[in-house]
Structure 1
Amino acid sequence: MSLNNADDYNDDLDLAVDGETIELQVPNDLAGKRLDAALAQLLPDYSRSRIAAWIKDGLVSVNGVAAQPKHKLIGSEKVSVTITPSVETAAFTPEAMDLDVVYEDDTVIVINKPAGLVVHPAAGNWNGTLLNGLLHRNPELSQVPRAGIVHRLDKDTSGLMVVAKTLPAQNNLVQQLQARTVKRIYRAVCNGIVPFDGKIDTLIGRDPHNRLKMAVVKFGGKQAITHIKVLERYLAHSYIECALETGRTHQIRVHMREAGHPLAADPVYGNVRHACSDTVKEVVKNLHRQALHAYRLSFIHPKTGETVSFEAPMAPDMYHLLSVLRLEAGLDSSLQHEAGYSDEHFHDGDDDDWDDDDDVEVIYVRE
């Protein structure tokens, strides 16, 4: 595409496609401007960050020579710009991947997400996400916001998620999350011997010392309540079930750390110096993720109105850890608590940002 001035370019901007090279001449009234600032005026339909990325990647030349963002223009130069997709555009590109579909009908999909899979594209993970895989498997999801995703799991948490296949179903599930009729039960391995079943009730907000982490705070956070049931106790670890009455970012991980029992192998909130046998240390080290699994998911089916419930077998890496812990503790190697436990409490799927403040003592009481 060849354009002689900014006005001509604006008229034909929608003709530019990814991979096409735009040729334009710098108007004299932009003399003295930096290249990046001038292009922001000449290409108003593209973000400054995207233009800056093109310049950095050598996709912009002035009079045939690759230029730097600070290059000062004198007017009348010939500028070539090669249009490439933004990372945001690439984020919604279908990608083939194996998805463990537990259940599917014309309204919803229930997926058992493996650890290591990012749910939704974001900075640092613009592709290879669950969203990309869903768009490949079910192209019709391109017509549903966020490809039907209504709640998230941390990248390194395994387990069940529900995805809506239609806009009405998505709206219904979002309303259920807000009304707390979606129930999610997690299972985890934590450090130490959890003494009794109970409840942790605190405020959770951004860690005032590290904005990338969450923490228990005295003021400014939001109430977070986790109900804990001990399933098994080992020599230096416990197998627990967590039911969330609220759903804050990293809630289980933060609460268990504050209770003095961080999740095994948690890279953010864990304790790598936790005392245990060399055998268990090696297994925990090889887990490469927090020992947390979304085990049970229940919700009201958006179309039938019936309550449906699903369970996902423990992820193989966590199952191996449990087997080693049971063997060392002299327990029956079978999973004694994989069925029959009542899911009285639930998770609301809320995932907001919080204000910061100082940590306070965790309230951990018997129920």
Structure 2
Amino acid sequence: MPEQKPEQVQLQARVADELVGKRLDQAIAQLFPEYSRSRLQGWIKDGCVTVDGEQKRTRDKLQGGELICVDAELALIEHHQPEPMELEIIYEDDDILVINKPAGLVVHPAAGHADGTLLNALLHHVPDIAQVPRAGIVHRLDMDTTGLMVVAKTIQAQTELVVQLQERSMGREYEAVVMGVMTGGGKVDAPMGRHKTNRQKMAVVHMGKPALTHYRLLQRFRAHSHIRLKLESGRTHQIRVHMSHINYPLVGDPVYGGRFRLPKGVSEGLIKTLRGFNRQALHAKKLELFHPVTGELMSWEVDLPEDFQLLLKALQQDLRRNEES
């Protein structure tokens, strides 16, 4: 594969009257909205932005009429190699890619997972995505969580999708099986942050970032519940932490699930299924967003994976057997 060179970015625009008195970083964020504010601020600090031929600071105010020029490079993702991997692509166009992520696939390289990740697969499937920060990944699913993810194929698309995430206009719905019998739906409005003693875990903490999860009951079983959830924020491990916080941890969750429990009189078949379900029972079932270029409202929904369906079937059979006895 030929070596890719960083993309040259050359932009220019004149400061309009409505930007008079604005800081330089605020003005160029409006002039060049296809790039993130943090990226533009970095270019200012690196001397890649000039105002009438002179370098300025991010906080310098504009008078109006100045010519702003940007001459920068988009660094490629370093040290990550493209890898041919089979992806279940639900939708793809020139701007976005929607996939159905399987269990066991790590989204981004990290300690212990240097390769074989979704990012490596994206670099192979869309080589130019190397010019987009994090290979266009705007939100993540945990390694063993399945379901829908959207990936941006361009910087413009990524910037717009990040805004939708921040403004909560991107709809994400999940299904889960939790331990315990719920009486109905509700919400968990509890701030989250790093666990005070185990930094690898997240937790509900008083001074954490706001986190809100809505849930509704789909079906009750003898000792479990099948629920649908909707996020209004996107904190790491949010659903897993929130459900554990209200004492309905996800089936199979190795981190937040607590002690393995079985209902009384449970059948051997269900025991085998529950013991064999060695991941959190969580699936990103529905994704809804506005297309980052056309503005069209788009929506996708995918079936539950086979192991999740088998878990529900075993719980249903156990419930039926108990009702008949």
Q: Do they superpose with TM above 0.5? A: yes
Distance 1:149 1:206 in 2: 22
Q: How far is 1:273 from its partner? A: 2.5
Larger radius of gyration: 1
SS of residue matched to 1:232: strand
Tell me what 2:298 maps to. Answer: 308
Among 142, 145, 158, the alignment partner of 1:157 is 145
Distance 2:312 2:165 in 1: 31
How many correspondences in the alignment?
242
SS of residue matched to 2:201: strand
Tell me what 1:209 maps to. Answer: 197
Residue type of the partner of 2:308?
M
Tell me what 2:258 maps to. Answer: 271
Distance 1:246 1:146 in 2: 20
Tell me what 1:284 maps to. Answer: 274
Percent identical residues: 52
Q: How far is 1:284 from its partner? A: 2.1
Residue type of the partner of 1:273?
F
Q: In 2, are the aligned partners of 1:265 and 1:271 still within 8 Å (CA)?
A: no
* Structure 2 residue 108 is the aligned partner of structure 1 residue 120: yes
Q: How far is 1:205 from its partner? A: 1.5
Distance 1:297 1:103 in 2: 12
Q: In 2, are the aligned partners of 1:200 and 1:226 still within 8 Å (CA)?
A: yes
**TM-align CA RMSD:** 1.5
Q: In 2, are the aligned partners of 1:265 and 1:272 still within 8 Å (CA)?
A: no
Structure 1, residues 9-59: CA drift from partner, whole Å, max 9, x if none?
xxxxxxxxxxxxxxxxxxxxxxxxxxxxxxxxxxxxxxxxxxxxxxxxxxx
Q: How far is 1:304 from its partner? A: 1.4
Among 107, 110, 120, the alignment partner of 2:95 is 107
SS of residue matched to 1:330: helix
Tell me what 1:95 maps to. Answer: 83
Q: In 2, are the aligned partners of 1:225 and 1:246 still within 8 Å (CA)?
A: yes
Equivalences for residues 131-170 of structure 1 within 5 A: 131-170=119-158
Residue type of the partner of 1:163?
V
Residue type of the partner of 2:167?
A
Q: Which runs of 4+ in 1 moved over 4 A?
A: none
Tell me what 2:308 maps to. Answer: 318
* Bigger relative contact order (CA 8 A; separation at least 6): 1
SS of residue matched to 2:210: strand
- Once the two structures are overlaid, the 10-residue window that deviates more, 301-310 or 134-143, is 134-143
Distance 1:163 1:226 in 2: 23
Residue type of the partner of 1:319?
Q
Q: In 2, are the aligned partners of 1:291 and 1:318 still within 8 Å (CA)?
A: yes
Could you tell me which runs of 5 or more consecutive residues in structure 2 were left unpaired when the two chains were aligned.
Answer: 1-76
**1:209/1:193 Cα in 2 relative to 1: closer, same or farther (>3 Å)?**
same
Distance 2:212 2:153 in 1: 31
Tell me what 1:347 maps to. Answer: none
Q: How far is 1:274 from its partner? A: 1.3
Residue type of the partner of 1:292?
L
Q: In 2, are the aligned partners of 1:186 and 1:292 still within 8 Å (CA)?
A: yes
Structure 1, residues 198-240: CA drift from partner, whole Å, max 9, x if none?
11111212111211111112x2212211111000001111000
Among 235, 253, 262, the alignment partner of 2:249 is 262
Distance 2:159 2:78 in 1: 24
Residue type of the partner of 1:93?
Q
